[in-house]
Structure 1
Amino acid sequence: MNVPRFSIIPFNREHQKSGFCCGSSLLDRYFSERVGQDVRRNLTKCFVAIDNSHERIAGFYTLSAAQIPLLQLPEKLADKMPHYHAVPASRLGRLAIDKSYQGEGLGSTLIADALMRSSSSSMAVYALLVDAKDESAATFYLHHGFIPCVGAPHTLFLPIGTVRSL
């Protein structure tokens, strides 16, 4: 029987964070110093990818509630919406892969997991929303089918219905 290489599970205080290094000092510092507090305060949910062969954190992402102003949806999507001020979303706040696992497709796996968790939520969620930190990150999300918000090209979203139809 093949054991999957990674298990994606909710973060808890017992996870060993000390060796994690993704190459972004902001993300590394957030993960080592703040993620536990944010989870305890229920400001975010964090999910970690554990390398099953080394019991090591290979990557993580955070999810929280959000909304997308209707004016930021492309017209063809906004026209299909009720005339609310905003639509509910799940925000992919942070996504990071340890340097030793970068380039192996784990980022795509974590996005898929975030989409699955968002679509199976007991809360109504129209889309997965992300704020790309730079042009490279925006390109990564565009490659995965995300759509730029009107007037905010580094804020991108992927309708959950897209995932459900796959």
Structure 2
Amino acid sequence: MVAAVHYFATIADQDALLDYLGEPDNVALAPWPIVLDPLVPLDSSAALTGDSVMIVTPALGAPVLIRPGEAALREPTRAGLFNRLNWERLQPGSAEALVDSNVSPVLFWQPGTASDSAITLSELGSQADAMDAISADYARWVNRAMNGEKGARGIGRSG
């Protein structure tokens, strides 16, 4: 099941989230869903201005990348269908790959924006159909990340 928290946050709140997750020592930030191969990390200021960001913790492993000809594009499953649709829609270049969100131990983050007049919605969670199928440690990490933010800022959960 895809799981996420949706929340409103200032830039200071977003920085606190990254501190809570252990950035830059314990997690790395990268674009989502198209990445360069090999992965090129973002610094936190670039991530905060990005539309969609992947949060990777090396302790759980690297993201699984999809390239032409790989099994993830041929699977007769819902995940395989979404991989094919995303590949066709996004058309990664020859040095790029798609993140296979169904098997990668990563968090999906859409940082909202904040100005003097408005704060937009942010989202943090997992895009995997079954987090436990990736690993029990991954499922615990996702839940800690989402619950840490919820507890700290009164955020509601959806999924």
Which band: TM-score by shorter chain?
under 0.3
The TM-score, its normalising length taken from structure 2, stands at: 0.26
Between 1 and 2, higher relative CO (CA 8 Å, sep ≥ 6) is seen in 2
1 or 2, which has the higher strand percentage? 1
Higher alpha-carbon Rg: 1
The TM-score, its normalising length taken from structure 1, stands at: 0.26
